[in-house]
Chain A
Amino acid sequence: MKNISFIIIFRFSVFLILLCGLYSCELPVTSFEDVEDAVYYYKYQPVAPQPGSTIKVTTWNIRFGIGRGEWFGDACGTKAIYTEAEVLPNLQLIVDRINQVKPDILLLQELDINSKRSGYVDQLKWIMDRTYFGYAVYGLQWQAQFIPSDGLGRLHEANAILSRWPLASATRIQLALRGDQDKLTRYFYERPCMVQAKVEIPGVTDFYAVNIHASAFATDDTKYKHFAAFKEELDNIANSGGWFVAGGDLNTLPPGSDSIDFCYEDICLGESFHQPGDDPQHKEGSNYAPEEEWLKPLYDKYKCAVPLNDYQQNQPAYFTHTTEPELTFNRTLDYLFTNSNWNPKSTVTHQDFFYESDHAPVSSEVVLIRK
């Protein structure tokens, strides 16, 4: 009888433990709902500053804190894993620049939160702890327990909005997955998203920040779908009487760009493109020819911090990205849009921020619409 009771109690304990385990089970890859809550970060509860007539907004793809490192995925490198000791100095450079520029709202892309490739540093917390921002939200663009490729391992990559003022109604909006990948690759690959939040600035009517990181390497119409979804979201805000500042890394060129094919600029040793028999003919993410008009609807309806005319008259002045670790920026991929107005002459493309990332940040001052 004693032994039977022991066995019953023992087995029941097993099931209790299993129940706990079921709720903690982590799938190999996390997929997302079409729209779900973003994750909030709070550093402290500061006294929210009273804004002037304008606030400064910056967008920056910080390349998960590896600076100009020769990463295998986008710079013809052989290195996949960076240690904490390698990442933290680059993050410090980024923090120094943020504290120098002092944006009121910061849109960050390619922010790693606890990824093996960047030393398992929670980069959002690290940046928040060393800057003046009191509020942030993020949406994960890539969440995998273990990627069995190139030793990537655990990967959590996010888009984040940092703000001096409280953020509310923050949502993560799923964008289309790449249609040009096989199912297995797509399962483990990133899931692009937008992050949107209402910025609760005192005395300012409904004001939103929207951060997007469109697909970098899709060779089909995936990017077009991203731009359409982006514009649709901005239209929804505008149509409901709201105001926004929106932007990020759109991974395509403005209409009218002189150079639209970067296969030779981005080519790695052993690769060949544009030659008869080459398959593929173009390097993934380097040929923008099919995309020339894809951003036109955005430019037509909303105000870009760098007006299209200004860009077309002096394109190199607004370049924000390169794949070459040693060279300066050679194309424009990063944008800021608003349905309000930009403060004239306030836009800066920070091309002097050379070592912090393979993207230059773009800053501008947006006019606030008071209640």
Chain B
Amino acid sequence: MRLKQILFFAIIFCATHGLTQESKLLSEWSYNTANLMPAGKWESGLIQPFRYGINEKIEVRSDILIMPFIPNAGVLIAQGTKNDISFASEHSLSIPTPFLNFFSMEGTGGLISSEYDFSFILSVYNAFLASKPITKNTLVTAKIGYAFSVRSEKPDPNSTIDLPVFYPRMAHYYEGTSIRPGVALKIKLGDKWFYEEGVQAFIITRPENNFFLENTGTLMWTVGGSWRIRGGYILAYGKYPYKTPKWQLWPTFDVVFGSR
């Protein structure tokens, strides 16, 4: 795409802003905020986890598609509201061992060399979220989380999947704790269009390859009913085992659906 075309769309995009209508922001896109699914309602995506509102205080969630490879489950617990700020805590467990052992294989599909085996690993993640509306159509969320592993033995450090997105999320399987601060801004652009811009850091408590940053931008279109299509990018920066390059740009895509 030529530079002029990029700049043209940039100007158009920057010139638009949320319409002055009653905000449906949270009803369409509450994932990655401190706001829970309403009681008895659910939604899921190909990438986004399945979410179900138990009641006003608890939401359960799980990545259903990857369950055969990475058994996982989590909860989002409402922690109250003060000065228009909603608070919540997120807690999840996952077991990546089946995934790691499955893809440690010879031939095509071998993301990890077959010379490595993985013992039991339990990944534990906790986070605290705070969301505040800035305008009727804009919501900012701040998040601080940490992840650590309980395991019988450390995996071989050469068995890592050295790719952006994967590597920082798997780092704590090998060594250290992963501290994850982040902030995200959600904007309602129109009746059917929404946008989220976010930044998240991964700080691993170990001496090497210990800092990663991801900037994500996601555009969402509400197709109709509960169906939503999301597309965007992840711009990743990090200290990987290979020295360079440090920057990577990846596309993202998701389809979300649920109850109404």
* Residues of A in contact with B (beta carbons under 8 Å apart): 3-4, 6-8, 10-12, 14-15, 17-22, 24-26, 72, 78-81, 83, 114, 116, 120, 122, 145-146, 148-154, 184-185
Contacts and interface: CB of A to CB of B under 8 A. Distances in A.
A120 B241 CA distance: 7
Contacts of A114: 242-244
27 contacts: A8-B14, A10-B185, A14-B215, A18-B233, A21-B233, A21-B247, A21-B248, A22-B249, A78-B114, A79-B115, A80-B113, A80-B114, A81-B158, A114-B242, A114-B243, A116-B158, A116-B162, A120-B241, A148-B111, A149-B108, A150-B106, A150-B110, A151-B104, A151-B111, A151-B115, A151-B116, A152-B110
A169 to B, nearest CB: 26
A86 to B, nearest CB: 10
A41 B134 CA distance: 53
A3 B138 contact: yes
Nearest to B187: A7
B contacts with A: majority SS:
mixed
Among B18, B109, B110, max chain A CB count under 10 A is at B110
Contacts of B104: 151
A154 B240 CA distance: 11
A25 B237 CA distance: 11
B20 to A, nearest CB: 11
A3 B135 contact: yes
Contacts of B14: 8, 11-12, 15
Contacts of B249: 18, 21-22, 24-25
Interface in B112-134: 112-116, 134
A332 B18 CA distance: 72
A233 to B, nearest CB: 31
Interface of B: 6, 10, 13-15, 17-18, 104, 106-116, 134-135, 138, 158-159, 161-163, 185, 187, 197, 215, 217, 233, 235, 241-245, 247-249
Contacts of B217: 14, 18
Given A21-B233, A21-B235, 20 more contacts: A6-B134, A7-B138, A10-B185, A11-B197, A14-B197, A15-B10, A17-B215, A18-B217, A18-B249, A19-B6, A21-B249, A24-B245, A81-B158, A146-B162, A148-B109, A149-B110, A152-B110, A152-B113, A153-B161, A154-B162
A98 B241 CA distance: 29
User: Ordered nearest first, which 4 A-B pairs have the shortest CB separation?
Assistant: A151-B113, A24-B247, A21-B249, A80-B113
A272 to B, nearest CB: 19
B144 to A, nearest CB: 21
A72 B105 CA distance: 12
Contacts of B18: 7
Contact of B114 (A21, A83, A151, A185): A151
B115 A78 contact: yes
Contacts of B185: 10
A232 to B, nearest CB: 35
B21 to A, nearest CB: 15
Contacts of A83: 158
A80 to B, nearest CB: 4
Contact of A151 (B17, B112, B163, B242): B112
Contacts of B241: 116, 120
Nearest to B215: A17
A159 B113 CA distance: 25
A116 B247 contact: no
Among B6, B106, B111, B158, max chain A CB count under 10 A is at B158
Nearest to B10: A15
Contacts of A150: 106-107, 110, 113-114
A12 B107 CA distance: 45
A17 B110 contact: no
